[in-house]
Amino acid sequence: MSDVIAKKYINALMKSMDTKVVETTLASLKTLVPAFGSEKFNNILNSSDVSNADKEGLILSMIENPDAKLTNFIKLLSSNGRLTEIPSIVKELSKQIALKNNQYEGLLISNFKVKANEIKDIETSLSKKLNADIKLTNQVTDYPGIKVEVESLGIEVSFSQDRLKAQMAEHILNSL
């Protein structure tokens, strides 16, 4: 549900601001997202004892030099009781800007640290194949192989050791 709400606010933002201002707004809103990980902060935003003016003042005090449009946007969110939607708005706005700029972020999941030059090679290869600018972040997990995920494009490419072993066994059994 919050994604639907976020999209409505994002559409309004995108229509009322040029791309450069939207990107600046996104950068400012991103600075707020870590605060939403705090239970005390969320309690303040959800409290009926704290006025909307105090809530928006708190949010605006956390932003360095907010411009008039960002201030009005925060006031709009506050008056509609949607300040808690800021993380969803940031996530969705990031996706929209990425779509507009043809830039996408993804994960390179493996059970070991991949060298920076290897990540760059994979990014270059994917970027050429998809005709987009792809940036990957290495995430070390217990996944037995390598997996590349670019969620916003719906792409997942994997090379699993278990799958390779199963395919080799199947091939050997078929050849007998």
Question: For 121-130, how does the pLDDT look when each residue is reduced to its tens digit (9 = 90+)?
Answer: 989 998 998 8
Quick one: pLDDT at residue 111? 86
pLDDT of residue 1: 54
Tell me the residue ranges of DSSP E strands in 22-153.
Answer: 103-110, 133-140, 145-150
User: How does DSSP classify residue 114?
Assistant: P
Average pLDDT, integer, range 30-41: 94
* C-alpha dihedral sign at 93, 85, 9, 22: negative
pLDDT at 174 (0 to 100): 81
* Residue at 138: amino acid letter: N
pLDDT at position 164 over 70:
no
Of 143, 16, 128, nearest to 67 by C-alpha is: 16
Confidence band for 14, pLDDT divided at 50, 70 and 90: confident
Q: pLDDT of 63-76, one tens digit each?
A: 998 888 899 999 99
Pair 27, 112: CB distance under 8 Å: no
Annotate 145-173 with DSSP letters as a single string.
EEEEEEGGGTEEEEEEHHHHHHHHHHHHH
- pLDDT (0 to 100) of residue 29: 93
**Residue 96's pLDDT band (cuts 50, 70, 90):** confident
Q: Which of 160, 45, 58 is closest to 111 using CA atoms?
A: 160
Nearest CA among 115, 165, 110 for reference residue 139? 110
CA distance 90 to 107: 19
Protein fold of 2-98: Peroxidase; domain 1 (1.10.520)
Domain ranges of the chain: 2-98, 102-175
Which of 43-57, 79-93, 139-153 has the lowest average pLDDT? 139-153
Q: How far apart are alpha carbons 35 and 92 in whole angstroms? A: 18
